């Protein structure tokens, strides 16, 4: 279970702690290819003072051929240590959309052993709208040691998913828009089949977010209930490439779910595997 009151921090809370060495501020911005936004360039143009940029496509296992797959614990430790982040700090992540890619980076730090990871409520849009300070330019932080240890229980591979699809032992929840889940709209990444994993349910991540913030517990509960998802049962979240699946994992945790894992490869992997079963149309009843 995730305590919403301590997982999210306000802009006021963070503004009062700028410059505190016990806090690491991380810009986790990432956008879908069709958004035509350059997150790294936007960071260089304007970011919260003291923040570092976490590039999802570089702090990743780039050898996998899949987008932003989790790196090894050793690789993560080196890369994040070079960003000046330690697992002993309070790590505050935000993104330029409000709440889109920050949950993926929040999840990644937690999976890699960080004990205190927060999300800035409202993200960078709220920070800017309130007229809070920003800075520009490249950032060169002093390196720190990050002691990383992968919590494999929170991650699922395609091998795991083949078994779970076959035996229906967990509920698979897909965060993609309904049109993509049903196979009515092509995937934004070339070469992927349209549709979804047999037996999976669809709760679009966008249905859980309003004005860059996570919706209320009652709204979240209603969204999962409407899709036939019981938060008390084991769940695996999935999406297009493992980013918005973390929004589902975050939302589920805030309403009491305790057994939630994330399929790291998500549809980028499953939809590209010719022998992985794919169906179209609405979720099975």
Q: What residues contact 104, with CB distance under 8 A and at least 6 apart?
A: 28, 30, 56, 68, 242, 243, 244, 245, 246
Q: How far apart are CA 109 and CA 116, in angstroms?
A: 9
Check: CB of residue 222 under 8 Å from CB of residue 196.
no
Q: How far apart are CA 116 and CA 133, in angstroms?
A: 24
- The structure tokens listed for 12 are 């006021």
Q: Which is catalytic among the residues 102, 111, 239, 249?
A: 239
192 by Cβ neighbours in 10 Å (0-12 / 13-18 / 19+) ranks as buried
- The structure tokens listed for 242 are 């493992």
Q: How far apart are CA 27 and CA 7, in angstroms?
A: 16
- Verify whether residue 156 is a known catalytic residue: no
Strands 213-214 and 209-210: antiparallel
Q: Name residue, tokens 């229980």.
A: 153
Q: Name residue, tokens 């699946």.
A: 245
Give the active site residues.
239
């Amino acid at each position: 279970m995730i305590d919403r009151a301590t997982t999210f921090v306000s802009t006021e809370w963070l503004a009062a702690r700028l410059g505190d060495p016990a806090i690491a501020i991380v810009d986790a911005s990432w956008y879908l290819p069709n958004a035509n936004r350059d997150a790294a360039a936007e960071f260089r143009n304007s970011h919260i003072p003291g923040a570092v940029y976490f590039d999802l496509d570089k702090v990743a296992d780039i050898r996998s051929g899949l987008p932003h797959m989790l790196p090894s614990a050793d690789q993560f430790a080196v890369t994040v240590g070079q960003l000046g982040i330690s697992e002993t700090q309070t790590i505050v992540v935000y993104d330029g959309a409000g709440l889109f890619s920050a949950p993926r980076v929040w999840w990644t730090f937690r999976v890699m052993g960080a004990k205190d990871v927060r999300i800035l409520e409202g993200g960078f849009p709220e920070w800017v709208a309130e007229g809070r300070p920003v800075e520009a330019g490249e950032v060169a932080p002093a390196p720190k040691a990050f002691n990383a240890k992968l919590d494999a229980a929170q991650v699922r591979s395609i091998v795991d998913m083949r078994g779970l699809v076959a035996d229906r032992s967990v509920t698979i929840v897909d965060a993609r828009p309904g049109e993509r889940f049903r196979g009515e709209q092509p995937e934004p990444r070339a070469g992927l089949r349209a549709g979804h994993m047999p037996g999976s349910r669809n709760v679009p991540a966008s249905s859980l977010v309003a004005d860059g913030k996570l919706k209320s517990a009652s709204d979240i509960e209603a969204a999962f209930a409407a899709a036939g998802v019981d938060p008390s049962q084991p769940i695996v979240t999935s999406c297009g490439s493992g980013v918005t699946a973390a929004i589902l994992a975050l939302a589920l945790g805030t309403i009491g779910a305790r057994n939630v894992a994330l399929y790291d490869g998500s549809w980028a992997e499953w939809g590209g595997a010719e022998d992985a079963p794919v169906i179209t149309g609405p979720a099975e009843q």
